[in-house]
Every structure is written in structure tokens, then in C-alpha cells.
Amino acid sequence: MNARIVTFSNHGDTTLLEYDPASADMDEVNKVVAEYEAKTGAQPFDMATGERIKKVTRKQNEVLMVHPISGG
């Protein structure tokens, strides 16, 4: 089963990255996540626990990048 990095955009949920957690280079996955975080300010949350994560590991099957929310 593939793991996914997803986010919500104007189009609804959007898969940013899909990879095989068994064979993927997790450093590369985290690099992509870090780049996306730096670019958009979105933070990764584990969709299995609902918790904010600092680093994506092979255990996570779905990570949601939550874009920052600001006061209206």
C-alpha cells in the first residue's frame, strides 16, 4: 500500500506525493515535505493520530499538510 502526502487546496484534497513506504528514500520524502513547508507554511499532521509530526517516517500512511490559518 502506498503512502501519501496530501493537502487541501481550492480543488479539495490534493495528493502532493505518493510513495511506497517500504522502499522510498524517507530523507527525500522529508526533503519534499520540508520544501513544501518552507514554501507554503503548511505543517504535516499524521492522519492516523491527528497529531502534528516533525518528521515523516515509514509508519505514516497518510500525512496531511495543513496550511496556516489566520485571523479573519
Partner 1 sequence: MPWLLLALTWPAECDVASLGRRPGWQVNGGANMVSLTVSLAFLALIAWRLVFARLQGKPIAKEIVDPRLPRNTLLDRVGLAVIVGDRFERGAQNVDLFEQEDRAKAYLRRIVALTEAMQIGDNYVLEIGTTRFHVHDRYVRRLRGVSDPKFEYEETCFCLQYTRLPTNEQIARALLALANNPALFDRWAARSQRLRPTARRSSERRGIG
Cβ pair 6, 62 in contact under 8 A: yes
For partner 1, which residue of 2, 55, 59, 61 counts as binding (CB under 8 A)?
2
Binding residues for partner 1, rule CB under 8 A, total: 38
The footprint of partner 1 on residues 23-52 (CB under 8 A) is 23-25, 28-29, 31-32, 36, 40, 45, 47, 49-52
For partner 1, which residue of 1, 17, 55, 57 counts as binding (CB under 8 A)?
17
Q: Name which of 46, 37, 47, 34 is nearest 67 in CA terms.
A: 37
Q: Is 41 left (phi over 0), alpha (psi -120 to 50) or beta?
A: left
Angstrom distance (rounded) from CA 6 to CA 4: 6
Binding site for partner 1 (CB under 8 A): 2, 6, 8-20, 23-25, 28-29, 31-32, 36, 40, 45, 47, 49-52, 64, 66-72
